[in-house]
Structure 1
């Protein structure tokens, strides 16, 4: 049962393009460096400080990780400490890619950054 805080990647993609949300990736730096969603900010769960997340009130904060587990944990911590409205992306970047949504990644053969997601 959804409480309005579990959002599908397709909804997040549209809101991200429209600059309606602030996407926060809570994976670790190595995961983020290897592959990320264009425009996401990195705030690893291992060093997560909810009050460090910029909340200007204009954009809803959405948390994202690899599968959805860590982002839900970050969401719960964030809401408990700040009281700000937020949500998380169900299925994480894995589900994002299942929907063929663009990512920024490192080409393992060349070491070059491939940005398929600039909008």
Structure 2
């Protein structure tokens, strides 16, 4: 797991609770192909490879939280946004891997049928 001193690590349980309460805007910074195969229900996909802090969606009173596969790219997204003057500091520690390890559900594609399995 990668984090900088300016990055706040949020646990999967915290992110799940805050997402359910509509208190966060979860942004998945993985590439579109990764997002298409499996994602956290409710996350937006803004890949780190093309992330421009100037074009982040309006979050209103929600906290922006970045998420990736294991935590490295989401921490990099936090750092990129901070360098651009945003006060974003939170990411899902351990990424979607930590999310799944705690038993939290994901939306995924059934490889046999192509159907989306979305428990959210």
How far off is 1:2 after superposition? 6.8
1:94 is matched with which residue? 97
TM-score, length-scaled by structure 1? 0.91
2:111 is matched with which residue? 108
Q: CA RMSD in A?
A: 1.6
SS of equivalent residue, structure 1 residue 72? helix
How far off is 1:56 after superposition? 3.7
SS of equivalent residue, structure 1 residue 82? coil
Q: How many angstroms apart in 2 are the aligned matches of 1:63 and 1:39?
A: 12
- The superposition leaves residues 33-71 of structure 1 with CA deviations (integer Å, 9 ceiling, x where unpaired) of 000001101100111111211244400000000000000
Divergent runs of 4+, >6 A: none
Which residues in structure 2 correspond to 1:31-50 (within 5 Å)?
31-50=34-53
2:76 is matched with which residue? 73
Moved more, 102-111 or 79-88: 79-88
1:84 is matched with which residue? 87
Give the gaps of 5 or more residues in structure 2: none
Give the gaps of 5 or more residues in structure 1: none
TM-score, length-scaled by structure 2? 0.90
SS of equivalent residue, structure 2 residue 84? helix
How far off is 1:3 after superposition? 5.7
The alignment of Structure 1 onto Structure 2 pairs a total of residues equal to 117
